[in-house]
Amino acid sequence: MHNFDFEKPSTVADAVAALASEDAQALAGGQTLIPTLKQRLAAPSKLVSLTGIADLQGISHSDGVLTIGAATTHVEVAAGGYGSLSVLAGNIGDPAVRNRGTIGGSLANNDPSADYPAAVLATGATINTNARSIKADDFFDGIFTTALEEGEIITSVAFPIPEASCYEKFEQPASRFALVGVCVAKMAGGVRVAVTGASEEGVHRWREAETALNANFSADAIADLSVSADGLISDLHGTPKYRANLVKVLTARAVANC
């Protein structure tokens, strides 16, 4: 690792100020960032820890919305009994990773194979930052890219609570990230289907399936749909064709298990 300064502010305002210095970078749970630094793939001058900020902690539930502080760890979400969201959080990484990794860190990183983006996009959640609120549909901007501006900090994520939802993950056997993951959420405004792990563009919605499921919310409804392999990821663990198959299989399973 290259060396860096370390700051641990206790307020969002202090964190924003600390991040204003050149090449400063926010550090949440560090479960992706620290391995990246170890490989010397990044060289921030300063790391600003967000884990000491009380305002970024905690989970609240009101008016059909579940709001999760950005520095909430996966284990806290997993233990909260929030239906499929807890199941999703309880299957990220491994127990030690879940004790450190946070929802805000996961979303800001937007790994194309991460789990949380699928739930955020499927429920149409809102990402609140120190500056604004961003709709899920506007937040994810291709792999490892989001709508966040330089120095902007996610403060919380507000999930409208679905009538029914399920996240089906098929693990990449080595990393245990999603080779493909599909989140189906039956929302008040209709069904939303979000797919992670599959596309070179990162997490995305499968709108044909949404249309079909809005007409008939059953696994059979998507039986005649086909997923194009164009633009899907090709790597050691799966061809685009294989991933296309998984998108459909997992969507059907998610619907059946909703």
Partner 1 sequence: MPKDNGIGASPKRREDVRFLTGRGQYTDDIKLKNQCQAMFVRSQVANGVIKSIDTSVAAGMPGVLAIFTGEDFTEVGGNPAGWLINSRDGEPMKEPKRPVLAHGKVRHVGDAYAAVIAETHEQALDAAEAIDADIDELPAVIDMADALANTDNLVHDEIETNQCFDWGWIEDNRAATDEAIKNAPHVTTLELVNNRLVPNAMETRASTGDYNPGTGDYTLYTTSQNPHLTRLLISAFVMGIPENKLTIIAPDVGGGFGSKIYHYGEEALVLAASKKLGRPVAWTATRSEAFLTDAHGRDHKTTIELATDKEGNFLAIRTSTLANVGAYLSNFSTVTPTFLHGTVISGNYTVPHIYVNLKAVFTNTAPVDAYRGAGRPEATYSVERVIDKCARELGMSPLEIRRKNFIKKEQFPFATAAGLEYDSGDYHALVDKLEEIADFKGFAARKAESASRGLLRGLGVNTYVEACGLAPSNLAGVLGARVGLFEAATVRVNATGNISVMTGSHSHGQGHETVFPQLVADMLGMSADDIDIVHGDTSKIPFGMGTYGSRSMSVGGSAIVKATEKIIDKASKIAAHMMEAGEGDIEFNDGVFSVTGTDKSVSFPEVAFKAYVPHDYPHDKLEPGLEETAFYDPANFTYPSGAYACEVEVDPETGKVTVCSMAAADDVGNVINPMIVEGQIQGGLGQGIGQALVENCVYNDDGQLLTGSYMDYTMPRADDLPFFTTDQTTLTPCTHNPLGAKGCGEAGAIGSPPTVINAVVDALSDLGVTHIDMPASPARVWAAIQAAS
Partner 2 sequence: MSSISMTVNGKTVSGEVEGRTLLSQFLREDLLLTGTHIGCDTSQCGACSVHVDGKLVKGCTMLAVEADGAAVTTIEGMANEDGSLSIIQAAFQEHHGLQCGFCTPGMVMATDSLLKSNSDPSEAEIRKHLSGNICRCTGYHNIIKSIQAAASQLG
Question: Which residues would be at the binding site for partner 1 (CB under 8 A)?
Answer: 1, 3, 39-40, 170, 173-175, 179, 236-239, 242, 245-246, 249
Residue 6 binds which of partner 2, partner 1, none (CB < 5-8 A, kind-dependent): partner 2
Q: Give the Å distances, CA to CA, from 198 to 30, 140, 162, 226, 245.
A: 24, 15, 24, 14, 10
Please, are residues 33 and 42 in contact by the beta-carbon 8 Å criterion?
Answer: yes
DSSP 257: T
Residue closer to partner 2 by CB (options 54, 96) is 96
Phi first, then psi, for residue 257 (nearest 5°) are: -95, 5
Q: Which of 11, 20, 23, 38 binds partner 2 (CB under 8 A)?
A: 38
Residue with tokens 């790597």: 235
Stretch that binds partner 2, among 35-43, 114-122, 138-146, 187-195 (CB under 8 A): 35-43
CB of 93 to partner 2, least distance (A): 7
CB of 107 within 8 A of CB of 120? yes
Backbone angles phi, psi at 120, to 5 degrees: -65, -45
Residues 189-248 that bind partner 2 (CB under 8 A): none
Per-residue binding string, partner 2, 71-110, x by CB under 8 A, is: ----x-----------------xxxxx-xx----------
User: What backbone torsions phi and psi does residue 238 show, to the nearest 5 degrees?
Assistant: 180, 140
Cβ proximity to partner 2: between 47 and 185 the closer is 47
Listed ranges 33-41, 118-126, 218-226, 230-238: which one lies at the site for partner 2 (CB under 8 A): 33-41
**CA gap 246, 258 in Å, rounded:** 18
Residue 176 found at the interface with partner 2 (CB under 8 A): yes
Query: Which H helix or E strand runs over 86?
Result: helix 84-89
DSSP character at residue 162: P
Q: Which residues bind partner 2 (CB under 8 A)?
A: 1-6, 8, 27, 30-31, 34-35, 37-39, 46-47, 49, 51, 75, 93-97, 99-100, 175-176
